[in-house]
Amino acid sequence: MEENGGESIHTSPGAISPVTPLPQSKESAKLDSFFDNLVRSKKREEISDQDRQQAFETFDSDQDGLLSVPEFVEMCRSLFRSAEGESYLRDAKEVTGIFALFDENKDGYVDTEEYDFCWNKWIVPICYPRSAFLVIDVQNDFISGPLAIVNCPAKHKGEDVVPVINKLLATVPWNHVVYTLDWHPADHVSFIDNVHMRDLHPSCKVTAKDVAVYDTVVFAGPPPTEQKLWPRHCVQNSWGSEIHEGVNIVEGATFIHKGNNPEVDSYSAFWDNNKLSETDLNQKLLERGITDVYCSGITYDICVAATAEDAVEMYRTVVVDDAGRGIVEEDIKKTQKYIRDRNGLVVHSSKVLDMVLGFDRNIVLGHAAAAKLRSLKSRSSATVK
């Protein structure tokens, strides 16, 4: 594991890296810097129809009132750039699928009406994201209690996330901050000392008297439920369930308590493990128009993983690598791959401010936004039929 000052404390980044630009003409430089100049000169609420029209005319190089594929590619080359002004677009083929999404009538061009949808639903949210920061389960029991992760295979120190999280809370203009807490009743299904309270399913490979911490059993239910057994932890209103005293609590934050149903565990801050009940986290984010979710906390490969895996189905999702600590290194790598495979990002905290400000616009998140629009359009078409 690399030190915190490195690019990634767990693995090398898997996101698309920017491409160093070649020498270019003044006109080409003007095109490339268009969205950089827009984001750095205007706030979201200052964007007008004139800006929308100017962007269209800037990239409509032949002035025919249509964006061709090459013109759309040039627009994307400008749209997806790092804070240092380097393009994330490596090949025109990376955005041809996105072009097809906005070419509604399939005539090979994006006309002004199609462009308006593209601008409002895709370009503006990419340039001006609304970002929520999730601080997941940074609780005493995971740091110095019975489930202190320093005693787990990866030997991570849970408290190491605190200064990283606090810096992000202090320096990044989040649209919303969420703290999540494991919040278990004393008779919770996940506690190994409660295993005798419920019947095991015939398919369970261990008996109640032989189980050990971290074993997985199958309870009879109904429904039959697979459950990993943990030491007693984060019992409601106990010291162990409290957020670590070093974590700064910001005004106006949302607090999500999960795992409070004694019969089912809940790793994700969105859903319980059986997807039977939902917290109000998604509703809170929707109410605030959140587009981007940044995940941090403990444990990287369990509750952070489950939350990020749910988030990536609904939001542009970023895992802040050095703001998370976990249990098993190999499982952390699996979490990262899962998120990256679904157009999410795993980044170092040093990248976050520029991303939230819209100065760093990674094409991976552009694909995520396009995929969500494609899904919405597909559902809308199905409803009409």
Tell me which residues are annotated as active site. Answer: 137, 258, 303
Tokens of residue 147, six digits: 């489930």
Residue 228, beta-bridge partner list: 216
* Radius of gyration, CA atoms only, the chain: 23
Residue 87 is given by DSSP the state: B
Give the residue ranges of DSSP H helices in the chain.
Answer: 26-32, 34-41, 49-59, 69-79, 96-102, 112-118, 124-127, 140-143, 161-171, 281-287, 303-311, 329-341, 352-357, 363-384
Backbone φ and ψ of 345, nearest 5°: -125, 150
Tokens of residue 380, six digits: 């809308």
Residue appearing with tokens 């999410």: 344
Detail the DSSP E strand segments found in 164-315: 176-182, 216-219, 225-228, 254-258, 292-298
Long-range contacts of 222-228 (CB under 8 A, 24+ apart): 223/274, 225/189, 225/263, 225/264, 225/274, 227/189, 227/190, 227/265, 228/190, 228/265
CA dist., res. 162 & res. 165, Å (int): 5
CA dist., res. 173 & res. 182, Å (int): 26
